[in-house]
Amino acid sequence: MINIHEIYQSIQGESTLAGMPCTFVRLAGCPLRCSYCDTPQAIAFDSGNSMAIDDVVAQAKSWSNPLLLVTGGEPLAQKSCIELLQKLLNTGGIVQLETSGALDVRLVPSAVRKVLDIKTPGSGEEKRNRWENLQYLNAEDEIKFVLKDQADYMWAKGVIEKRLQNTPATILLSPCWGALSAEDLCAWILRDKLPVRMQLQMHKVIWGAEKTGV
């Protein structure tokens, strides 16, 4: 059994797979409290319904989208997330996992494409970064920083230079919606020649920041 907040289809708005038709499986519950959280409705562990994993997989498969995204909340906060990931892989689709970076990723099946956050000082959850996770990333994985301001950017630049020089993963910098201008972030990246990709949250551009379930 697993506690599910919602299952729906949309376009993946983030990561190097942005734009792909995608089935979202959003798990309920997160132990973090990021200042910029855009899914506060899924933070409580009782904000979902308990479902059999096989039923979740059947529902996710029913849209026949090429990409299956497991997100939250913090999906890895539920132990049965690992079984869910494996069963989604067994359907033959691309499986992506969005995780806060605060929990151990070692049990995540290697074929799952991880998008691992690094929490900046502006998130208020910097102390939750589990730096050991970085050694378990591969070339299909991505590391994401959400930046609230220039101080966050400079902090992220330092992390990239000190800890991510040899990472095989793609590094994404994302301006926090409504807090940091994408134009400023682009200018800083170009000025500093950082080995990163700038990304926007495409779903917010299309449907607006407040709409959920899209």
Q: Which stretch binds ligand SF4 (CB under 6 A): 37-45, 129-137, 150-158, 185-193?
A: 37-45
Q: What is the DSSP letter of 61?
A: H
Q: Does 185 engage in binding with ligand SF4 (CB under 6 A)?
A: no
Of the candidate residues 19, 33, 138, 158, the single one contacting ligand SF4 (CB under 6 A)? 33
Q: Cα(40)–Cα(47) distance, rounded to whole angstroms?
A: 10
- CA distance to 32, 127, 137, 145, 203, per residue, from 214 (Å): 23, 31, 28, 22, 7
Q: Which stretch binds ligand SF4 (CB under 6 A): 9-17, 71-79, 86-94, 184-192?
A: 71-79
Least spacing, CB of residue 62 vs ligand SF4, in Å: 26
Least spacing, CB of residue 14 vs ligand SF4, in Å: 12
Q: Which stretch binds ligand SF4 (CB under 6 A): 50-58, 68-76, 172-180, 202-210?
A: 68-76
Q: Does 142 engage in binding with ligand SF4 (CB under 6 A)?
A: no
Site for ligand SF4 in 80-109 (CB under 6 A): 100
Q: How far is CA 19 from the centre of its chain?
A: 15
Token pair recorded at residue 12 = 């993946």
Query: Quick one: angle between helices 150-163 and 182-192, nearest 10?
Result: 40
Q: Cα(122)–Cα(126) distance, rounded to whole angstroms?
A: 8
Q: Cα(172)–Cα(5) distance, rounded to whole angstroms?
A: 26
Token pair recorded at residue 49 = 């319904």
Token pair recorded at residue 25 = 């499986």
Q: Does 39 engage in binding with ligand SF4 (CB under 6 A)?
A: yes
Of the candidate residues 6, 14, 74, 152, the single one contacting ligand SF4 (CB under 6 A)? 74
Do 5 and 213 form a contact (C-beta atoms < 8 A)?
Answer: no
Least spacing, CB of residue 207 vs ligand SF4, in Å: 19
**Which DSSP string do the residues of 40-59 spell out, in sequence order?**
GGG-STTSSEEE-HHHHHHH
Whichever of 35 and 59 has its CB closer to ligand SF4, that residue is 35
Of the candidate residues 30, 60, 70, 185, the single one contacting ligand SF4 (CB under 6 A)? 30
Of the candidate residues 37, 53, 194, 202, the single one contacting ligand SF4 (CB under 6 A)? 37
Of the candidate residues 72, 75, 93, 175, the single one contacting ligand SF4 (CB under 6 A)? 72
Report the interface residues with ligand SF4, using CB under 6 A. 30, 32-34, 37, 39, 43, 72-74, 100
